[in-house]
A and B are shown apart, each in its own frame.
Chain A
Amino acid sequence: EIVLTQSPGTLSLSPGERATLSCRASQSVSSTYLAWYQQKPGQAPRLLIFVASIRATGVPDRFSGTGSGTDFSLTISRLEPEDSAVYFCQQFGSSPPTFGGGTKVQIK
């Protein structure tokens, strides 16, 4: 199965700053099958980005995704307090679908 490694484990930034989250795959993933999720405590994950770079309905445009092959990233251009959450990447280019371990974004 494809292993997704996310870094950093935790990101602590101030409101208005830019956050860049990395997701590295153990083998190449078609960008068609790479997604990002946001999860807040006690809630289900929320789809943010699919097909590596397409924002899901209702997702603010400060969230953007990019990447190809084995390296993908999620950028939050101007952090808001409500962006405090854990972010997961996920692939389904190869079965079984797998998730990264997550990056926790803390707002100072």
Chain B
Amino acid sequence: QVQLQESGPGLVKPSQTLSLTCTVSGGSITSGSYYWSWIRQPAGKGLEWIGRIYATGTGSHNPSLKGRVIISVDTSKNRFSLKLRSVTATDTAVYYCAKEGPGGSFQYWGQGTLVTVSS
């Protein structure tokens, strides 16, 4: 069973870069034909897809984030990462990493990590 675990700072200052890593266990990030995604959820609100990456490094991100997103993969460490530049208070949320499954669903999720943007 694939397991995912997010890690990174829980507090980021406005205008700085949010950096998170998702470590995958129970399977190789290179196996199968599925993408690995980042999704976020502000407190009490809905879910927003941030972007995704394939093991080869191919990926895409949500245009709503206006190019502030960089997602990378490190197959040697079986993990992938998120960088979100120029953060503001509206980027405060629980950030999840997830493995995509059949039909573009998100089959496996990390437990989530709260990132607060505040000075």
Contacts and interface: CB of A to CB of B under 8 A. Distances in A.
B119 interface: no
Given A44-B112, A95-B60, A96-B63, A51 B46 contact: no
B32 interface: no
Interface stretch (A16-24, A30-38, A67-75, A77-85): A30-38
A47 B104 contact: no
B110 A35 contact: no
B74 interface: no
Residue picked from B64, B96, B101, most chain A C-beta under 10 Å? B101
Interface of A: 1, 32-35, 37, 43-47, 50-51, 54, 56, 88, 90-93, 95-102
11 contacts: A1-B64, A34-B103, A47-B101, A50-B101, A51-B105, A56-B107, A90-B106, A92-B103, A93-B104, A99-B46, A99-B47
